Amino acid sequence: MIEHIGPQLFNGLVLGAFYAIVALGLSLIMNLTGTINMAHGSFMTLAGYLAYTMVLRKVPFGWALILAPLIAVLVGIIVERTLVRPLYKREPFYSLLMTFGLSLMAEEAFRLIWGPNGVPFSPPPALAGAASLGFMQFPTFRIFIVVVLLIAIAALALFLTRTRFGLRLRAAVQDTEMIAALGTNTQVLYAVNFSLGIFLAGIAGVLAGGMLGLSPTSGNALLMPAFVTVIIGGMGSLFGSIVGGLLVGIAISMTTLFIPAASEVSMYVLMAIVLLVRPRGLFGEEGIFG
Amino acid sequence: MTARKELLLSAAVVVLFAFGPWISPLMHLDVSIVSGVLVIAIAVMSVNLLLGYTGLPAFGNAAYFGLGSYGAALSVKYFQVHFAEAIVIGTVAGLLGGLILAPFLLRRRGIYFGLLSIAFGQVFYFIAYRYTDVTGGEDGMQVPRPLFVLANAHATVSDFGFYYVALAFFVIAVIAFRTIVRSPFGRTLIAIRQNEPRVRYLGLNTDRFIFVALLISSTMAGLSGALSGLLINFAFPLQLDWHQSGYFVLSMILGGAGTVWGSLVGAFIYVIGNDIISTITSWWQIFLGALFVACVLFFPRGILGTLQALGRRAPQAFGDDDDDDHAAFDPHAVPEAGRGV
């Protein structure tokens, strides 16, 4: 049992990185506009299926990993501009309801296009197999996933902290009216911000398709842990989403090892404990979103 | 609408449903499907109380609904209880679910409340899904409908008989619901939805009001779940899933948030669609989703809410008492904190 802890911990971190990146996308959108994007999982699945189709048509996996999320972003921008935007001036839960409707439509659409059952989507041969990290053997694809997700997170952090646009985005989260009064086109901010969230979801969707399988509901299966991640990390905090994701990943992988039956429930137990001790979540700001 | 007119209309609806077993064949509906409409309407009402009146995004009511269903099914299977007891046990199971989750949910408002409801609701889904030995896991559990026992007499409950059980509970639920939302307690809930800090400044402990609303809601959802489980003789994990919560919310918005009868209209569309149209075309879910998106975007008052708004185009005097169904929910209200404008 003990010798499994190392690999299982690594698996937990991979899983956690997925949750973190999905939660980051959710948080980005939630922090700026108060929208809980229930269709986030659908965008993941969409990107996954697009990449699957591309790879079938002999597009290299590396290209599919970039192109599929970009197409998902395109769909995302259309959705944001036409459907989500009119709801910004209403109470936030309307966008939650609307995106729930979207996810219902998307799920059925995936079923009609790609079939009701999962499709086999395996990583390219170059990434198959295992690599040695000196002390232990790990599947190459999982190491690749961790590297890609780390790069994505780092790029996001740089974008938000080191560019003017990122600065405006963070300022808008604090006070949208003020940033608009200072001459920033907030509608562009909203669109770009939404796209960023969808792009992260898209990358996660493609990678998760290769690791966890691809089916019409596979994105939604990642959505719930991502919600828990946001709550544990604290709403309003991007850093919290990263920490929360890793915690959830490790909690799940460890309970899978020791008490397999409780693997899904463990993250909710973790969430309950965190909330009892700290109702705002680990890094959440008091007062944000009630 | 005057109180008198509303009473007449309500009575007409109930009388219409009293002849349900004879009317439904004319519409090619099985009577059990109409029972389903009545039963689901109670669950939709439970969401309506929290979301439509109190303004809390109750996105986890399927948890209480499923607890009701499993409570009834498990007690029949393992303790051989009878029909009436199974309903009571299921309803109490829903209430207990509310009691367990309340300490967590009460701490937050707005979309945070919604997120917590979704997340905590899933716990019960995974317990039912994973605890295979007892609950049957993913396949759910099939339980024959128990006998109705009163003193020494006992009878089987046919689909025909069940219909009137469902109708009775529905009428009780509507009357209770209407009484609650028009009571000072219900008025306070509406006030909380409109401006919670102000209610607190008036010296009312809003947490306590929301706590009670949550318990009423979970009890109603539990009752609906118990009846639903006994109606289809089946309890399965998807009854606890957040999608089911979403369907309840969806039905409520479609029918008309903050209206007493909107829940019935919404439940009707959802159940008929899910049980009839979905067997005819696989496009049903797409259609349902699109209908919902359009509803949120273009007529957020829902079907009944929109009809009522059309029906009273002339502005009424301030404080007109007949008007309170609409006062409950104003979708065009400006968000308080000014976020995301």
Q: Say whether A92 and B119 touch across the interface (CB within 8 A).
A: no
The pair phi, psi for residue A163, each rounded to 5°, is -115, 155
Which has more confidence, B132 or B234?
Answer: B234
Residue B340 has pLDDT above 60, yes or no: no
Nearest chain A Cα distance for residue B14, angstroms: 31
User: A91 to chain B: which residues are within 8 Å by CB?
Assistant: 55, 331, 333, 335
Which has more confidence, B26 or A217?
Answer: A217
* The pLDDT value given to residue A286: 63
Q: What spatial distance separates the first Cα and last Cα of chain A, rounded to whole Å?
A: 44
Domain map of chain A by residue range?
2-217
Which DSSP symbol is given to B319? T
Considering only the beta carbons, identify the residue of B130, B131, B293 that sits closest to A101: B293
* The pLDDT value given to residue B279: 77
Considering only the beta carbons, identify the residue of B108, B110, B118 that sits closest to A92: B110
Q: Say whether A97 and B290 touch across the interface (CB within 8 A).
A: no
* The pLDDT value given to residue B341: 30
User: B332 to chain A: which residues are within 8 Å by CB?
Assistant: 90
Considering only the beta carbons, identify the residue of B284, B292, B340 that sits closest to A92: B340
Six token digits for residue B260: 């007493």
Q: What spatial distance separates the first Cα and last Cα of chain B, rounded to whole Å?
A: 35
Contact A119, A54 (CB under 8 A): no
CA dist., res. B105 & res. A179, Å (int): 33
In the predicted model, what is the mean pLDDT of chain A? 88
* The pLDDT value given to residue B313: 58
Please give the average per-residue pLDDT across A260-274, as a whole number.
85
Residue A205 has pLDDT above 50, yes or no: yes
- Interface test mutation site (partner A, options B206, B249, B293, B336, max chain A beta carbons within 10 A): B293
Residues 6+ apart with CB under 8 A from B88: none
Look at the alpha carbons of A223, A228, A231, A237 in this order and tell me if their dihedral is positive or negative: negative
User: B110 to chain A: which residues are within 8 Å by CB?
Assistant: 92-93, 289-290
User: A32 to chain B: which residues are within 8 Å by CB?
Assistant: 340
| B90-108 core/surface letters (b: 16 or more CB in 10 A; e: else) | bbbbbbbbbebbbebbbbb
- Interface test mutation site (partner B, options A80, A82, A96, A248, max chain B beta carbons within 10 A): A96
Nearest chain B Cα distance for residue A249, angstroms: 16
Which neighbouring-strand residues pair with A132?
A137
Which DSSP symbol is given to B235? E
User: B113 to chain A: which residues are within 8 Å by CB?
Assistant: 290
User: A103 to chain B: which residues are within 8 Å by CB?
Assistant: 289
Q: Say whether B335 and A268 touch across the interface (CB within 8 A).
A: no
Q: Say whether B115 and A265 touch across the interface (CB within 8 A).
A: no
- Write the pLDDT tens digit of every residue in B268-314: 999 988 887 777 777 888 988 898 899 999 888 888 888 888 876 54
Please give the average per-residue pLDDT across A113-125, as a whole number.
84
CA dist., res. B191 & res. B329, Å (int): 10
- Write the pLDDT tens digit of every residue in B306-339: 888 887 654 443 333 344 444 445 444 444 433 3
Residue type for A22, please?
V
Please give the average per-residue pLDDT across A19-34, as a whole number.
91
Nearest chain A Cα distance for residue B259, angstroms: 17
| Rounded percentage of chain B residues whose pLDDT exceeds 90 | 40
Residue range B3-327, CATH number? 1.10.3470
Q: What is the DSSP string of B137-203?
A: GGG-EE-PPPPEEETTEEE---HHHHHHHHHHHHHHHHHHHHHHHHSHHHHHHHHHHHHHHHHHHTT
- Write the pLDDT tens digit of every residue in A57-110: 988 888 999 999 999 999 999 999 999 999 988 888 888 889 999 999 999 999
Please give the average per-residue pLDDT across A157-171, as a whole number.
91
Q: Say whether B111 and A261 touch across the interface (CB within 8 A).
A: no
Considering only the beta carbons, identify the residue of B59, B289, B339 that sits closest to A105: B289
Considering only the beta carbons, identify the residue of B55, B109, B115 that sits closest to A230: B115
Nearest chain B Cα distance for residue A37, angstroms: 11
CA dist., res. B75 & res. B87, Å (int): 10
How many other CB atoms sit within 10 Å of the CB of residue B176?
Answer: 14
CA dist., res. B172 & res. B179, Å (int): 10
Q: Say whether B118 and A227 touch across the interface (CB within 8 A).
A: yes
* The pLDDT value given to residue B336: 41
Question: ipTM of this model?
Answer: 0.86
- Write the pLDDT tens digit of every residue in B238-257: 889 888 999 999 999 999 88
Q: Say whether A104 and B286 touch across the interface (CB within 8 A).
A: yes
Minimum Cα–Cα distance from B133: chain A residue: A261
Say how many CB pairs under 8 Å bridge A and B.
152
In the predicted model, what is the mean pLDDT of chain B? 84
* The pLDDT value given to residue B318: 37
Contact A104, B285 (CB under 8 A): yes
Nearest chain A Cα distance for residue B17, angstroms: 30
* The pLDDT value given to residue B334: 41
| Rounded percentage of chain B residues whose pLDDT exceeds 70 | 91
